[in-house]
């Protein structure tokens, strides 16, 4: 399962993680290489988000070109549901396993 486009990133403070009002996904970023990974910290309630089938604790691998930049483990990225334009071929390459680089 993949995501076609994510749009620009939005950095959030840890205090915002307490609120479940946001319809999106919080990721903690790792691996500053061409394939970045994000650990899902929380998931908002939204049809597009739920369609991804993600759970808290999942690891998501994605291409850096999608606009989500890697950072250290303290950097959080919040993806708004509106930025998850379509589920299909695109930037998120794999869930819970590192994809082949080929």
Sequence-distant (6+) residues with CB within 8 A of 67 are 6, 7, 8, 9
Domain boundaries, the chain: 10-95
Q: Which carries the bigger pLDDT value, residue 10 or residue 70?
A: 70
pLDDT 10s digits, 18-73: 344 445 555 555 544 445 556 666 666 666 566 667 777 776 665 544 454 444 33
pLDDT attached to residue 58 = 72
Beta-bridged to residue 92, according to DSSP, are: 62
All residues at 6 or more sequence positions from 74 whose CB lies less than 8 Å from its CB, including other chains: none
- Whether 2 shows a pLDDT value over 50: the answer reads no
In 3D space, the residue among 56, 55, 54, 69 whose CA is nearest the CA of residue 6 turns out to be 69
């Amino acid at each position: 399962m993949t995501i076609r486009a994510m749009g620009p990133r939005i950095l959030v403070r840890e205090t915002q993680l307490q609120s479940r009002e946001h319809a999106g996904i919080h990721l903690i970023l790792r691996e500053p290489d061409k394939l970045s990974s994000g650990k899902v910290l929380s998931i908002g309630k939204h049809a597009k988000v739920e369609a991804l089938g993600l759970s808290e604790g999942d690891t998501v691998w994605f291409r850096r070109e999608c606009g989500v930049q890697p950072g250290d483990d303290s950097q959080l990225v919040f993806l708004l549901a509106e930025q998850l334009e379509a589920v299909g071929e695109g930037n998120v390459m794999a869930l819970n396993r590192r994809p082949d680089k080929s």
